[in-house]
Amino acid sequence: MEEQPITPALVEEHNLTAAEYERIVATLGRTPTLTELGIFSVMWSEHCSYKSSRVHLRRLPTRGPCVIQGPGENAGVVDIGEGEAAVFKIESHNHPSFIEPYQGAATGVGGIIRDIFTMGARPIACLDSLRFGPLLDAKNRFLLDGVVAGIAGYGNCIGIPTVGGEVYFDDSYSLNPLVNVLCLGVARRDQIFYGKASGVGNPVIYVGARTGRDGIHGATMASAEFDETSQERRPTVQVGDPFQEKLLLEACLEAFKTGAVLGIQDMGAAGLTCSTCEMGARGGVGVRIELDRVPQREEGMTPYEIMLSESQERMLMTVAAGREGEILEIFRKWDLEAAVIGEVIADGVMHVEQGGRVVARIPNTALTDDAPVYERPLRRPAYLDKVNALNLDRLALPGGLFRAFKDMLAAANLCSRRWIYRQYDHMVRTNTALLPGADAAVLRLKGRRAALAVTTDGNGRYTWLDPRRGAMIAVAEACRNLVCAGARPLAATNCLNFPSPEDPEVMWTFAEVIDGIAEACAAFGTPITGGNVSFYNETLGKQIMPTPVIGMLGVIDDVERRMDIAFKEPGHAVLLLGETLEELGGTEYLELVHGLKQGPIPRLDLQREANLQGAVREMIGAGLLASCHDVSEGGLAMALADCCFASPDPTMAVEVTLAQDLREDAILFGESQSRAVVSAPDAHADRIAAIAADWSVPCALIGRVSRDVFAIRLNGHTLVIDDVISLRDIWTTSLETILH
């Protein structure tokens, strides 16, 4: 069966170019078997090999005093003090979620959680970063509903709280929703596990779910190997089993405690193939496996199918010789499948046998480090000049700014995300010290004074209009969100969602985004410890906006000093830190009210941003603030509203009086960077002003927290005034209203 001739058509169906195929033949010194062709095909795919992105990713800063493990492992690891390490990473599951939103999103959650506990960490939280087309379209509502239910279905069941995230709506995502999930775990610093095989003769153990014919993409050809029925039995969608993964998680953590586990890797994309060759390559050894010993869900699976299956909830581990019994016993206790399927060998090859016959034998490095790398051509997109030619003089103020404000409160991109996060168990494990609705999620570390803060950010419209600066703003906003929650930003992860890398204009935006992230991360001292690249987010020629999502982790030294965004007491002074410029390009307001998706996007001065963050940290550290919220999408008016609505008291309101010689809409809705709204008792106002002055951050007393009446006055007239309860109502229920 294996002797099926490899034809050019077969090669093409495996998404390999003729040149790549020649390279395979040269590496092996012979024609590959069909199984080998399949293995090369998945390992050299964009998804596994990063062949288009690798040359660019090298420019990201990945080192720093806190970094224990940077990119290259299952997840990044950073030191969080007192012998503990945080393990975190973000992953995309965009394409599967479009095909089947519930299962696509669910298995995305399952996959990233495995990446975390495979490193020896107990996962403590997830965040989800989502993008959909406009909700006017029933198909997009269906996708949102399914994706949120899928994330909830998996995360809630496995018992890991989904504590935050973000969601944006834009037409470019209509045929390509984005589903990115970040998972964060905590481990003992000295008990991190790596995906590395070692010790010739050590057994290799397969644990978890049985292998089925799930998600085998490679070949759809009618060939001798695959008869009609096996085609039909090959589901394109994997079904997640969070219960199984919960058992796997507990069993793995228990197995790690024995000291018998030497290396472990989860089977995600490219399943058994990927874990086998990567573990071998990292350890500089080889791995020999026998497919007959692999637990299988169905009969008659071919080596091709077993090696390429993407069945979920599976792991591969190497164990100290002689101690396999102990490990198998633990998995049995948790009612899980576990079997010794091979051993570590000296040759650096992936050696696969079935029925005593060798079905694949490939040098590990040919599949990993030596996989093709492309310097794809780059070309600055022509659209950029056109969309960055906004002339504010030609932009009329809307008839009623109050009306515009109400529309913004109800806008899908700005309204409350309650409908989403209430479907997520965001409290399980009892660590969530800042609930969703804040700038960042805060997780206490039981038994310690310190806590972790985590957020995801990425405004696709910004990066579409200005890839480099947009990416820098994403990093800046992520840091700012953490700082506003009282944290010190530590390190970042990133998920880069782009259309086809074969389009030079896309590749140019990709390169720009990398440079933007690199520059900003270097400036803020937040190295990138891992991430994910998702290309080919385009359907029928329609491309998504380039959408980098930054996940940022920070530490709060004293959890009691965490900060939230809610106004606390009527009478408190409300201050605006930072400078408001006449900037409307790229804003939510410009698109919502004027129907314009135009730049230039807000300026970002890294030094000013650092000053703002430094000032805010000092104010929070000194215990001066009652609330703190960064100003982002929707501008100052939205930020003020957020601070009111975040209070459990529905009558909490604010009255501000602004005086500035700028367009009124820019003052209210402009998205100038490096700003924050803070509130504090009057007695602290002087010290706040002094700290701001020290950091050269403009600081203006703009109003007071009030009760019932929400009012914004500008240059002597009232722009907005209403009963806060009715405004709050618009904002809280908007998503529900749109969706039901």
Partner 1 sequence: MRAKVYVTLKRGVLDPQGKTVQRAVKSLGFKEVLEVRQGKYFELALPDDVAADRARQVVEEIARTVLTNTVIEDFRFELEEA
Partner 2 sequence: MKFGIVVFPGSNCDHDAYHVAKHVLGEEAVFLWHKDESLQGCDVVILPGGFSYGDYLRTGAIARFSPIMKSVGRFAADGGRVIGICNGFQILLEAGLLPGAMLKNERLKFVCRHVHLRVETCRTPFTGLCAPGEVLSIPVAHHDGNYFADAATLAELKAHDQIVFRYCTEAGLLRAEANPNGSAEHIAGICNRAGNVLGMMPHPERAAEAMLGSADGLKIFQSLLAAPAGAR
Residues catalogued as catalytic: 47, 93
Q: Which stretch binds partner 1 (CB under 8 A): 241-249, 454-462, 589-597, 649-657?
A: 241-249
Question: Could you give the CA distance from residue 132 to residue 462 in angstroms, rounded to a whole number?
Answer: 16
Residue length of the chain: 740
When CB distances are held under 5 to 8 angstroms depending on the partner's kind, the choice from partner 2, ligand ADP, Mg ion, none that residue 444 binds is partner 2
Question: Applying CB under 8 A, does 422 fall inside the site for partner 2?
Answer: yes
Q: What is the DSSP letter of 200?
A: T
**Position among 457, 519, 630, 671 found at the interface with Mg ion (CB under 5 A):** 457
Question: Applying CB under 5 A, does 588 fall inside the site for Mg ion?
Answer: no
Question: Applying CB under 8 A, does 243 fall inside the site for partner 2?
Answer: yes
| Residue at token pair 């806008």 | 411
Which is nearer to ligand ADP, 413 or 706 (by Cβ)?
A: 413
How far, in Å, are 105, 178, 461 from residue 536 at the CA level? 18, 12, 18
Question: Could you give the CA distance from residue 377 to residue 359 in angstroms, rounded to a whole number?
Answer: 38
CB atoms within 10 A of CB 522: 16
Question: Applying CB under 8 A, does 157 fall inside the site for partner 2?
Answer: yes
Could you give the 3-state DSSP secondary structure of residue 679? strand
Could you give the 3-state DSSP secondary structure of residue 162? strand
How far, in Å, are 282, 484, 544 from residue 463 at the CA level? 35, 23, 11
When CB distances are held under 5 to 8 angstroms depending on the partner's kind, the choice from partner 1, Mg ion, partner 2, none that residue 246 binds is partner 2
Reduced 3-state DSSP string for 56-84: HHCCCCCCCCCEEECECECCEEEECCCCE
50 contacts 367 by C-beta, under 8 angstroms? no
Q: Name the region of 312 (left: φ>0; alpha: ψ -120 to 50; beta: rest).
A: beta
Cα of 255 vs its chain's centroid, Å: 28
CB atoms within 10 A of CB 383: 11
**Position among 40, 168, 193, 334 found at the interface with partner 2 (CB under 8 A):** 334
Question: Applying CB under 8 A, does 79 fall inside the site for partner 1?
Answer: no
Q: Which stretch binds Mg ion (CB under 5 A): 456-464, 527-535, 637-645, 722-730?
A: 456-464
Q: Among 238, 94, 114, 90, which Cα is nearest to 179's?
A: 94
Question: Applying CB under 8 A, does 335 fall inside the site for partner 2?
Answer: yes
Question: Applying CB under 8 A, does 3 fall inside the site for partner 1?
Answer: no
Q: Among 188, 209, 312, which Cα is nearest to 259's?
A: 188
**Position among 12, 298, 329, 558 found at the interface with partner 1 (CB under 8 A):** 298
Q: Which stretch binds Mg ion (CB under 5 A): 120-128, 367-375, 453-461, 582-590?
A: 453-461
Q: Which stretch binds partner 1 (CB under 8 A): 97-105, 181-189, 366-374, 696-704?
A: 97-105
User: Number of residues in contact with partner 1, rule: CB under 8 A?
Assistant: 25
Question: Applying CB under 8 A, does 343 fall inside the site for partner 2?
Answer: no
Which is nearer to partner 1, 336 or 730 (by Cβ)?
A: 336
Taking each helix axis from N to C end, the angle separating 606-621 and 467-484, rounded to the nearest 10 degrees, works out to 10
User: Number of residues in contact with partner 2, rule: CB under 8 A?
Assistant: 32
Q: Among 697, 702, 727, which Cα is nearest to 715's?
A: 702
Which is nearer to partner 1, 64 or 212 (by Cβ)?
A: 212
**Position among 33, 94, 97, 156 found at the interface with partner 2 (CB under 8 A):** 156
Which is nearer to ligand ADP, 311 or 463 (by Cβ)?
A: 463
Question: Applying CB under 8 A, does 507 fall inside the site for partner 2?
Answer: no
Q: Which residues bind Mg ion (CB under 5 A)?
A: 457
Residues at the site binding partner 2, with contacts judged by CB under 8 A: 149, 152, 156-159, 241-244, 246-247, 334-335, 421-430, 432-433, 435, 444, 446-447, 559-560
**Residues in touch with partner 1 (CB under 8 A):** 99-100, 102-103, 209, 212-214, 232-241, 243-244, 297-298, 311-312, 335
